[in-house]
Amino acid sequence: MRDFLVGTAGHIDHGKTTLLKALTGIDSDRLEEEKRRGITIDIGFAHLSLGSCRIGFVDVPGHEKLVKNMLAGIGGIDLALLIVAADESIMPQTLEHFHICRLLEIPGGIVALTKCDSVEPELLNLVRDEIRAMTRGSFLENGPVIAVDSITGSGLEFLQRVLIEQAAKSDRNRGSRQERVFRLPVDRVFSKRGFGTVVTGTLTSGFIRKEDAVAVYPSGKRGKIRRIEIFNREAAEAVAGQRTALNLMGLGKDDLKRGTVLSRPGGLRPTRSLDASIKVLKGAPRPLKRRTPVRFHHGSGEWHGHVVPLEGKMVAPGQRAMVQIRLAQPAMCWIGDRFILRMDSPPVTAGGGVVLDDLPPRHRARNLPGELLPVKALQSGLEAGNRDPDQVRIEFLVRSKGKLGIDIDELSARTGSPRRRLLGHLQQLPEIELVPQDPPLAVTRTALRILESSMLSYLDEFHSRKPLAAGVSKEELRNRFLNSSRIDYFQFLLCRLEQNELIRIARSIVMRRGWEPRLNPAQEAVRQSILGVLRRSFPRPPTLTELKRRLHQPPARTEEVYFFLIQQGDLVRVGGELVLTPSQVARLKHQFQIKFSSGQSFSVPEFKDSLGVSRKYAIPFLEYLDREGVTRRRGDGRVVL
């Protein structure tokens, strides 16, 4: 069974609900108030099976005060059924609904001329001409205009045939939506006895199966699918393009509302700021200036926010421009999503557009020209249509992250492409490299080259500034260049540089390949002096402070050479400021073995007496022997191992 989703549009009292009832036998007005007043207040639903095609209808209210409800139901449809009453022709909400469908880029449309049996043929032809004039240059320009009458039934059979033809065309484009991440904007929430929480909505992308884990956004709270219904029948799964009811476990009625979105855990990134390309309608009451209040409509939700023009001080009626939209509450968008902007006062549709960056920086005027270049390149790439739009989005996001890169999970949450598709795309993009971590990290090769060059330059500068230091610690290097990234990424870079013979790594120290610290003549003299003093002073070596006083050299030079000798292994740090030469360490261990046998216990005073040293030397020596595994502390004494 092939599913196809149709949304009605049109002015109040032009017969949208009556036409659907005549087509399907279902009254889509479900509220008591709707039946009492004879007008559609909230979105309603009906369906019809025609051969191998199952057509779902979303009926929307036509009153000007209920456009926000219309917008909650119109998203995700395959075809707009614009309904115009032959006895009234084009009315204000006809135009507004038509503009909304056009701004949302609904893929196809049909115009149904209702109440045709109540007007003369001349008037009917005149209304047809007005509709053709209105739809010229739009998605409806070559669409069928079908005269029907819901009371007599004339034209309904022809309308059904046209709907089947449109469904066949639409089915060819359905696959790409089903291959994306599951997303369902919620338009109704209720509790049902014996079932619990139930939500309905149009599955705009991906698929969902019973027992699948889901998350509700923006809260991120998780639950599970207990039951799926499509057109009031239980199903094992639902796919993109279907009206769906989901019975949820682990989520209460208060956890969801119209405007929240269901997706897989981690599938979306809520945001309060968007860079977008918008078009302001010619009939908008005024231009959009900085901080103009707007209502942002996306999916089934409505958010309050304001507009910040990025290409001048305002966007005038009839103009296209880049803007940043800042929202009071988080919304859930993917790059490439379309939306509608409505004025706060008067409450009319101002325009709409497409999301280009779902997590942009707050632009400063002096940085705008440079920051907008990649966003404009993204827009051009999406509009050109000569490349896979997913690859255009991926390149934009990876480039925007620079040296830090972007992991696969974030790419998926911002583009709507699942991991498998992303990995396939990334393998076809030669400028992007994948860093092997979990999840894999995507970085441009240019950013990697710049980062590696910066790290090498820093090592060169460090060696020049500190010629006696062996190199830079891994920790310092990571903190300077990749502090906010995972250790896997840093290790990946070090491995690449080492494999390319550009650096050498000794334990935790990184140095340029071929670098060897060297002493100048003055430093060599200090080295000889330090080693000479230490050889003559065993087992009572001087501290660094004492060395500085005894050598009569510049203190900084003495200290520099002292630490160089430790680094080179010519001195062994015993404890605190006490050091010994390697031969003195061997001598210390030898004397200890002569005085004390394996398994013997001894006290600190006994050790002091055996070496003839004070507690100042005995305690550091014993702590060193503990670290070396020669002795082990037991109470106030030691035992020989």
Specify whether the CB–CB gap between 189 and 216 falls below 8 A: no
State the DSSP code for 445: H
Per-residue pLDDT of 354-382, as tens digits, reads: 999 999 999 988 889 889 999 999 999 99
How much is the average pLDDT of 181-187? Answer: 94
| pLDDT of 172 strictly over 60 | no
Which residue in this structure is represented by tokens 């996001």?
397
pLDDT at 451: 97
| pLDDT of 40 strictly over 80 | no
pLDDT at 457: 97
Cβ-count burial of 108 within 10 angstroms (0-12 exposed, 13-18 middle, 19+ buried)?
Answer: middle
How much is the average pLDDT of 504-514? Answer: 91
State the DSSP code for 270: -
Per-residue pLDDT of 195-220, as tens digits, reads: 889 999 999 999 999 999 999 999 99
| pLDDT of 336 strictly over 90 | yes
Query: What percent of the chain clears pLDDT 90, i.e. is strictly above it?
Result: 68
| pLDDT of 159 strictly over 90 | yes
In Å, what is the CA distance from 344 to each residue of 217, 305, 317, 535? 25, 10, 16, 87
Local confidence band at 620 (pLDDT 50, 70, 90 cut-offs): very high
- The mean-pLDDT minimum among 35-39, 60-64, 246-250, 352-356 falls in 35-39
Q: How far, in Å, CA of 299 to CA of 301, rounded?
A: 6
pLDDT at 58: 87
| pLDDT of 469 strictly over 90 | no
Per-residue pLDDT of 598-609, as tens digits, reads: 889 999 999 999
pLDDT at 117: 86
| pLDDT of 112 strictly over 70 | yes
How much is the average pLDDT of 300-318? Answer: 95
Question: Which position has the higher pLDDT, 279 or 72?
Answer: 279
Instruction: Tell me the H-state helices in 407-520.
Output: 408-415, 419-427, 445-465, 474-481, 487-499
Per-residue pLDDT of 218-234, as tens digits, reads: 999 999 999 999 988 89
Local confidence band at 175 (pLDDT 50, 70, 90 cut-offs): low
Looking at the chain, how many residues does it have? 641
How much is the average pLDDT of 75-104? Answer: 91
pLDDT at 33: 62
Q: CA nearest 53: which of 176, 209, 168, 153?
A: 168
Whole-number average pLDDT of the chain: 90
| pLDDT of 396 strictly over 90 | yes
Domains of the chain in sequence order: 2-172 (3.40.50.300), 176-263 (2.40.30.10), 271-371 (2.40.30.10), 401-518 (1.10.10.10), 530-640 (1.10.10.10)
